Amino acid sequence: MVQDNYERILEKIAKSAGLEKEEIERRVEAKRAKLSGLISKEGAAQVIAAELGISFDNEKLKIEELLSGMRKVNVVGKIVNVSPVRSFTTKRGDEGKVVNLFIADETSNVKVVLWDTNHISLIEKGEIIEDKVIEIINATMRDNELHLGSFSELKLSTETFGKIQTEKIISEKNISDFGINDNTSVRAFIVQSFEPRFFNVCPECKKKVNINEDSFVCGEHGNVIPEKRALINLVLDDGTESIRSVLFHDTLVSLGITELDNPERLLNQREDLLGKEMVFLGNVRMNTYFNNPEFIINGVKSVNLDELIGKLENK
């Protein structure tokens, strides 16, 4: 599946650039070699596309072709889930609303975030609901979410889908094969854990807030009363390599880290983590401070032995 996606990206770039697919592939490999393999094939292809001055503007993409950082994204998908409309008021007195929905096509699915009141009113009026097919024009891929602002378009589409992919597609990889921007899972041991670090997030969008004199400012929501969050750095090792990883608030709880305000009990909980083998899901990012890849964990699962045995038997 991942390979098909890469092949399709290559074909698209080749077609737009008027070059052979093999030539694009050669450039992608050269780029990866230059970056010591720290970038995934898909990521490197994106860099090559940018270098060739190619954008995917005005082109309809399949959901599995969406890559973090893409702008002016056009995509069609069937709505599989719509969250309730959430309202918020910033300290400046502005009224804001946000809606999350999930859309799927035959290749994959993606979370869509609506910020524009015109788009949200389509949901409030019941024109855009679950099971409808929608067309999105001019959206931005922020991390692994598709964000629609006031310059984006949202409308019903007449396209139809047969079987849609509603399961999240996450490939399992060895740490030694991790590339930047990979959305992946790995079965690994926790070999080290560090002191927690605390920071403040916006209560609405959960993004980190900036401190401006005595007030906390969210880029999207202005002055806010922040929520305190914690993160812990871990080192994971799967036998192929180790990687520095980041575990945030919600996933900390699922790993049994609850005593963030009690240093002594926290130390015990952290010690209990060592040697624990789990399946970690997340994204590989470049940590610009350490200039090293880092695994941002967004989910933890216990190792499913039946599944594992099944896999080994099928080898």
Binding site for Zn ion (CB under 5 A): 202, 204-205, 218, 220-221
Instruction: Report the residue closest to Zn ion, judged by CB.
Output: 202
> What is the DSSP-derived secondary structure letter of residue 163?
S
In the complex, the smallest distance separating the C-beta of residue 203 from Zn ion, rounded to whole angstroms, is 8
Please provide the DSSP assignment of 243-309 as one string: EEEEEEHHHHHHTT---TT-HHHHHHHHHHHTT-EEEEEEEEEEETTTTEEEEEEEEEEE--HHHHH
In the complex, the smallest distance separating the C-beta of residue 202 from Zn ion, rounded to whole angstroms, is 3
In the complex, the smallest distance separating the C-beta of residue 71 from Zn ion, rounded to whole angstroms, is 21
In the complex, the smallest distance separating the C-beta of residue 285 from Zn ion, rounded to whole angstroms, is 21
Name which of 39 and 205 has its Cβ closer to Zn ion: 205
Q: Which two tokens stand for residue 219?
A: 């880029």
Name which of 76 and 201 has its Cβ closer to Zn ion: 201
Contact status, residue 103 vs residue 63, Cβ threshold 8 Å: yes
The Cα 140–Cα 148 span in angstroms is 7
Name which of 223 and 242 has its Cβ closer to Zn ion: 223
Name residues whose C-beta falls within 8 Å of residue 233's C-beta, 6 or more positions apart in sequence: 193, 194, 197, 244, 245, 246, 247
In the complex, the smallest distance separating the C-beta of residue 223 from Zn ion, rounded to whole angstroms, is 10
The Cα 35–Cα 29 span in angstroms is 10
The Cα 167–Cα 30 span in angstroms is 34
The Cα 133–Cα 158 span in angstroms is 7
In the complex, the smallest distance separating the C-beta of residue 152 from Zn ion, rounded to whole angstroms, is 18
Left, alpha or beta for 239 (phi > 0: left; psi -120 to 50: alpha)? left
In the complex, the smallest distance separating the C-beta of residue 113 from Zn ion, rounded to whole angstroms, is 12
Name which of 25 and 204 has its Cβ closer to Zn ion: 204
Name which of 65 and 204 has its Cβ closer to Zn ion: 204
In the complex, the smallest distance separating the C-beta of residue 115 from Zn ion, rounded to whole angstroms, is 10
The Cα 25–Cα 289 span in angstroms is 30
Question: Among residues 32, 37, 34, which one has the least CA distance to residue 173?
Answer: 37
In the complex, the smallest distance separating the C-beta of residue 294 from Zn ion, rounded to whole angstroms, is 24
Name which of 27 and 221 has its Cβ closer to Zn ion: 221
Name which of 98 and 266 has its Cβ closer to Zn ion: 98
SS3 48: helix
Contact status, residue 39 vs residue 85, Cβ threshold 8 Å: no
Of the CA atoms within 13 Å of residue 59, those in its CB half-sphere come to 16
The Cα 209–Cα 165 span in angstroms is 35
Name which of 142 and 244 has its Cβ closer to Zn ion: 142
